[in-house]
Amino acid sequence: MESLWRDDEASRFEGELGLRVYTSRLLGREKSLVLHGGGNTSVKLVERNRFGEDEAILYVKGSGWDLETIEPAGFSPVRLAHVQRLAALERLSDPDMVNELVTHMTRAAAPPPSIETILHGCVPFKFVDHTHADAVLAVTNTPGGERHVREIYGDAVIVIPYLMPGFDLAQAVAREFERQATAKTIGLVLLKHGIFAFGETARESYERMIDLVSRAEQFLARHGARDLAAPPAPAESEATPLEIAALRRRICAAAGFLATLRVRSTAQALAFARHPEAERLAQQGPATPDHVIRTKRIPMLGSDVEAYVAAYGEYFGRHAPLAREPKTMLDPAPRVVLDPRFGLASVGRTARDARIVEEIYEHTIDVILRADALERYEALPAQDIFDVEYWDLEQAKLKKGGKPPVFAGEVSLVTGAASGIGRATVAALLARGAAVVGLDQAESIEALHDRPDYLGIRCDLTDEAAVRAAIARTAFAFGGLDMLVLNAGIFGASQSIAELSSSEWRRAMDVNLDANLALMRACHPYLKLAPRGGRVVVIGSKNVPAPGPGAAAYSASKAALVQLARVAALEWGSDGIRINMLHPNQVFDTGIWTESVLAERARRYGLTVEQYKTNNVLRTEVTSRDVAELAAEMCGPLFAKTTGAQVPVDGGNERVI
Ligand code: ZN
């Protein structure tokens, strides 16, 4: 592992807190050191307070920040003297510790400081870097972990046996520092947890981390436990997309909340799920408390959710005996699924959470296989896995969290999503917490958003095989489909019936009607599995209730689509699927309405552009966003008891009213 320090980059950061930001980001760039939200760093600075006195302040990573993208505002400034006095207490409960830290910061708006703050305060060095490096976990998560660590590092590091993060661990570190530290001490290894490095400058502390982790990597290499044989060539998932959707539905039922599920059928994931010793390797649990918090308990092997839930009930009873204070049962759903048929699936309340679980578990697989090649993989004790997970739940309760977004954990698909109403609908659904798949013929669909809860697929909707493939990708990426917005359509040139060619008529029917029939048919089994009931929104047109001359093909195809949707509302109601339609009119902020087209149309009616745009009963302009917001609301609780309805969104039209 190489140091990523560059003098020219470093010179752009100001002061010691600036360099603390810089080297924290360097750690965050290296995924084998730090994964999403994991790891933490600190610096001890002296600042002048309100009374003109110098005061030592511990700047420690705040919760909710990633090292890779941290800013100065992501560090919580805690009064160091108070932290050190806390460390000397006989005991301190976790909630009390959190309260003491939060109430002794010098900036009210700072994030709550890391749970490892007291530990950072106890280390007598200015800069402290902490990671859960894969190589260190592979070495320490073995029966001979302590022996290996002493062999690798000699007296360069202090070694601490596994203890749950929090007050007791911080005290053990303070104690062991006094007992074990020498002039050569540059780091600290917490068995089955991770590694710390320290220094007097940001660069020294960071480069010691790189050096210490490199030594663990070299040790693994010397024992043939670093470069493991590549798994056999990747095979396809043997599970169908519909089976994945059914699995997600059962997991949501067990969890008691909506979640997305993401499948990875890579060579690594399939080989691990098919490993002859998968039971022994995977069923011990995570490699560090940091991973327990994100991936929760042990993975589910196979896809029998009900058996997993039953086993969890026993596990809970074993680890939360009645003698302790009454405990609320944790939700019993798995977060990681290993199935020889599809490889690895990860579960998260949002698509982002699922992706984090996946990334952590892919690193866990590496750690497990390397530890096993070195000696034998050994996870944290089961009681500790339980305690960390339970403690995390308590922490979550302490945080003042708002209500989750209305579509959190749900999956939607929007057609014609690259521009206009479709694009605005993607934004409206993302803003409400849904994962969104956008389909469009335009290449720009793929890069419309760069975020884990969006997937853009280039797709010709009149190609049934391509549509089925897109739905399968949706199921493997997010676990199913809850909401479908049928927006794609073509308008065609203005033509009277006498001049209308059969091919233009056919084309309008193909895109506006037949393609939607095929899509609805293909989506029906998924919508039927939607945990909260499937929802379909059809973007119709004012032309359905009030057609105009010159648009026969468009008006007839949209009217037929609406009739199709009304029949679907009747047929699919018993499957819990509701279908509603909305009729926009004169939405001008779309690609077809350029400035010159608008000016030309307005002139033809003897109106200004402004008058033309607001030529409706309410004298108001209707935008793509207005239509998109209504489409999203039609999927939400406001319309929970409505199906088969048609709602205009046109500023009021005399012919429709
Ligand atoms: Zn840690």
The DSSP annotation for 498-510 comes to GG--HHHHHHHHI
Ligand 1 midpoint to CA 274 (Å): 31
Q: What is the mean pLDDT of the chain?
A: 93
pLDDT at 616 over 60: yes
Q: CB of 340 within 8 A of CB of 270?
A: yes
416: helix, coil or strand? coil
pLDDT at 240 over 60: yes
Q: Using CA atoms, how far apart are residues 41 and 55, in angstroms rounded to an integer?
A: 20
Q: Using CA atoms, how far apart are residues 412 and 384, in angstroms rounded to an integer?
A: 38
Output helix, strand, coil percentages for the chain, rounded to the nearest 5. 45, 15, 40
Burial class of residue 63 (count of CB atoms within 10 Å of its CB; 0-12, 13-18, 19+): middle
In this predicted structure, what is the pLDDT of residue 321?
62
In this predicted structure, what is the pLDDT of residue 393?
67
Ligand 1 midpoint to CA 376 (Å): 22
Computed from CA positions of residues 306, 311, 315, 321, in that sequence, does the dihedral angle turn out positive or negative?
A: positive
Closest to 579 measured CA to CA, from 625, 647, 511:
647
pLDDT digits over 97-128, tens only?
A: 889 999 999 999 999 998 889 999 999 999 99
In this predicted structure, what is the pLDDT of residue 476?
98
Q: How confident is the model at residue 349 (pLDDT cuts 50, 70, 90)?
A: very high
Ligand 1 midpoint to CA 568 (Å): 53
pLDDT at 531 over 90: yes
Q: Using CA atoms, how far apart are residues 625 and 627, in angstroms rounded to an integer?
A: 5
pLDDT at 234 over 80: no
Closest to 580 measured CA to CA, from 536, 530, 626:
536
Single-letter residue type at 546 = A
pLDDT at 392 over 80: no
Give the full edge-to-edge strand order of the sheet including 127-131: 75-79, 54-61, 40-48, 127-131, 194-199, 187-190, 157-160
And the tokens for 581? 């339609």
Report the half-sphere exposure of 145 (CA within 13 A, side-chain side).
28
pLDDT at 10 over 60: yes
Counting every residue, how long is the chain? 657
Ligand 1 midpoint to CA 237 (Å): 35
Ligand 1 midpoint to CA 398 (Å): 20
458: left (phi over 0), alpha (psi -120 to 50) or beta: beta
In this predicted structure, what is the pLDDT of residue 205?
98
Beta-bridged to residue 578, according to DSSP, are 535
CB count within 10 Å of CB 162 equals 17
Ligand 1 midpoint to CA 12 (Å): 29
Locate all alpha helices (DSSP H) within 52-110, ordered by sequence: 80-87, 94-102
Label residues 206-236 b or e (16+ Cβ within 10 Å = b): bbbbbebbebbbebbeeeebbeeeebeeeee
Closest to 33 measured CA to CA, from 116, 134, 114:
134
pLDDT at 400 over 60: no
Give the full edge-to-edge strand order of the sheet including 646-649: 454-458, 435-440, 411-415, 483-486, 535-539, 578-584, 646-649
Q: Using CA atoms, how far apart are residues 508 and 491, in angstroms rounded to an integer?
A: 8
261: helix, coil or strand? strand
Q: CB of 538 within 8 A of CB of 567?
A: no
Give the full edge-to-edge strand order of the sheet including 260-264: 260-264, 343-348, 336-339, 300-301
Reported as type and span, the H/E element at residue 466 is: helix 464-478
In this predicted structure, what is the pLDDT of residue 230?
79
In this predicted structure, what is the pLDDT of residue 403?
83
Phi, psi of 581 (to 5 degrees): -125, 145
And the tokens for 462? 């009149």
Mean pLDDT (whole number) for 584-596: 84
Q: End-to-end CA distance of the chain, in Å?
A: 71
Q: Using CA atoms, how far apart are residues 189 and 153, in angstroms rounded to an integer?
A: 10
pLDDT at 642 over 80: yes
CA dihedral 217, 221, 226, 231 (to 10 degrees): 160
Q: Using CA atoms, how far apart are residues 58 and 160, in angstroms rounded to an integer?
A: 23
Single-letter residue type at 146 = E
Q: Using CA atoms, how far apart are residues 650 and 441, in angstroms rounded to an integer?
A: 27
Ligand 1 midpoint to CA 472 (Å): 38
Tokens 């429709």 -> residue: 656
Which residues neighbour 442 within 8 Å (Cβ) at sequence distance 6 or greater?
Answer: 418, 419, 458
Ligand 1 midpoint to CA 402 (Å): 27
Closest to 530 measured CA to CA, from 249, 285, 162, 233:
249
In this predicted structure, what is the pLDDT of residue 225?
93
Ligand 1 midpoint to CA 38 (Å): 7
pLDDT at 329 over 90: no
Ligand 1 midpoint to CA 294 (Å): 13
In this predicted structure, what is the pLDDT of residue 494?
83
In this predicted structure, what is the pLDDT of residue 396?
66
In this predicted structure, what is the pLDDT of residue 297?
79
In this predicted structure, what is the pLDDT of residue 601?
83
Burial class of residue 442 (count of CB atoms within 10 Å of its CB; 0-12, 13-18, 19+): middle
In this predicted structure, what is the pLDDT of residue 548?
87
Q: Using CA atoms, how far apart are residues 78 and 64, in angstroms rounded to an integer?
A: 17
In this predicted structure, what is the pLDDT of residue 228?
85
Catalytic residues: 554
Q: CB of 644 within 8 A of CB of 580?
A: yes
Out of 228-237, 260-269, 635-644, which region has the weakest mean confidence (pLDDT)?
A: 228-237
Q: CB of 143 within 8 A of CB of 218?
A: no
